[in-house]
Amino acid sequence: MADSSNKQLKGHLLINLLILNFSEHSDSLKWGQEKLIANLISELSLKKKFKISAIITRQGETEKFYKSKGIMVECLNFRKFFPIKNILKTIRLIKNNQIDIIHSNETRSIIYASLFKILFPSVKLIASKHDKAIFFPTGFKMLFRKYLYLWVERILFMIFFKKITTATNANKKSIVGFFKLINRKIIVIPYGITPIHYSNQYHTGKVVKIGVIGRLENFKKGQDIFIKSIKHVINKTKKKILFYIIGDGPDLENLKKLTENLNVKHLVKFMGYRSNIQKVLEEIDIIAMPSYFEGMPLLLLDSIHAGKPVITSDIDEFREIITDNKNGILFKKGDEKDLARKVLLVVENANLRKRIGNNLKKLKNKYILDRMVADYIKVYSNCR
């Protein structure tokens, strides 16, 4: 590594940190994982103890954001098979910037970070697992690839990585169970967001607005269950309800066809992607999260800060935050009829909406960006 005089900053050791994100969405800040990584990098760049470098797959919104913050960013496509040119560029970056720690955020960056560790033995490796170690039905080819990648990660984690971070205890349990890693190697760091002041927390109008927000992926987010529940809701209440689907993704057209097939098209508004989450949450009365699995969705954290009543599936990741009928409402995962029952319960009871929203908001100080950044700084510092 560098001469000690080059690694000192006002009496403190300077940490040269390289953050890798080779996901297909790394050029955009539309998605939760990419927002989270960008916010972490942005805040760390303000700390005198750190010198930050980042590598993403291609040019776009993320690159512009990093450059506006004065962060050194390279756009190198590691999604191609063994890109020699980009590997050599990264090797030069690690050498020239005297990188101490590489922080990886998905499978490809975990694989290549391990290669760089072999070439630079003194570099410490950290990885973040943003989802559970889970298999989902997306066709044999994708299932096989997912299974293979997880086994590759398992081997690399055991050999090369000093710490693995994840956002929930449910995720940690999954990682320990599948990857067979010792508990102390895995650190739970809950996600955090920048606090926002929300107005119009509770509407008093005659129309109740309920929405799902996020990437439109039925196998993960369950927006189809939300639409299927509508037909069970509308015939059992005199309340006027509007249903909103906010976001875009591969299942957009499938969801639109589903509203037509169920004859609920007139009740559902597809809003597309909305960058201003504050305005969206101020317009909607109830947030539904019918996910089959999650890491820690930033939408839930936004709902916490907004004090919005939430109806979520009863998966472990939500149960870690939501206590049924206290600070949210849980329904049986994948059960459209149970979701409809819970929607009716919340729609018909304004006092319940207010109570669970207020109780949820009490958690906001636990899920702030400053706390998350401080936790990561401890991890980085302890890896030196």
Distance CA(272)–CA(249), nearest Å, equals 9
Distance CA(85)–CA(160), nearest Å, equals 24
Same domain, 72 and 168: yes
Within the chain, residue ranges assigned H as helices are 32-44, 61-68, 84-96, 107-119, 140-160, 169-179, 218-221, 223-234, 252-261, 277-283, 298-306, 316-319, 336-347, 350-361, 369-383
Same domain, 359 and 379: no
User: Which residues of the chain fall below pLDDT 70?
Assistant: 1-12, 132-145, 200-205
Residue 199 forms part of a structural domain: no
Specify the pLDDT at position 136. Answer: 55
Same domain, 379 and 345: no
Same domain, 142 and 235: no
Residue 300 forms part of a structural domain: yes
Residue 97: both structure tokens together: 């910037």
> Taking a C-beta distance cutoff of 8 angstroms, is the pair 221, 254 a contact?
no
Residue 202 forms part of a structural domain: no
> Taking a C-beta distance cutoff of 8 angstroms, is the pair 190, 166 a contact?
no
Strand-strand pairing, 12-13 and 8-9: antiparallel
Same domain, 170 and 280: no
Same domain, 133 and 259: no
Distance CA(138)–CA(136), nearest Å, equals 6
Same domain, 237 and 97: no
Specify the pLDDT at position 132. Answer: 67
Residue 200 forms part of a structural domain: no
Residue 201 forms part of a structural domain: no
Distance CA(136)–CA(11), nearest Å, equals 50
> Taking a C-beta distance cutoff of 8 angstroms, is the pair 367, 304 a contact?
yes
Same domain, 34 and 118: yes
The string over 46-69, giving b where at least 16 C-beta atoms fall within 10 Å of a residue's C-beta and e elsewhere, is eeeebbbbbbbbeeeebbebbeee
Same domain, 226 and 81: no
Domain count, the chain: 2
Residue 114: both structure tokens together: 């391990």
The string over 103-130, giving b where at least 16 C-beta atoms fall within 10 Å of a residue's C-beta and e elsewhere, is bbbbbbbbbbbbebbeebeebbbbbbbb
Residue-wise pLDDT tens digits, 105-159:
999 999 999 999 999 999 999 999 987 655 554 565 666 667 787 888 889 999 9
Residue 51 forms part of a structural domain: yes
Specify the pLDDT at position 4. Answer: 44
Residue 163 forms part of a structural domain: yes
pTM of the entire predicted model: 0.89
Same domain, 185 and 314: no
Distance CA(181)–CA(127), nearest Å, equals 13
Same domain, 185 and 227: no
Specify the pLDDT at position 50. Answer: 94
19, 108, 28, 11: which is closest to 62 by C-alpha?
28
Residue 174 forms part of a structural domain: yes
157, 128, 123: which is closest to 17 by C-alpha?
123
Return the SS3 of 333: coil
Distance CA(11)–CA(64), nearest Å, equals 33
Return the SS3 of 8: strand
Return the SS3 of 316: helix
Same domain, 148 and 217: no
The maximal CA–CA distance of the chain, rounded, in angstroms, is: 74
Residue 299 maps to which CATH number? 3.40.50.2000
Question: Can you give the residue range of the structural domain that contains 147?
Answer: 4-194+368-383
59, 232, 219, 255: which is closest to 146 by C-alpha?
219
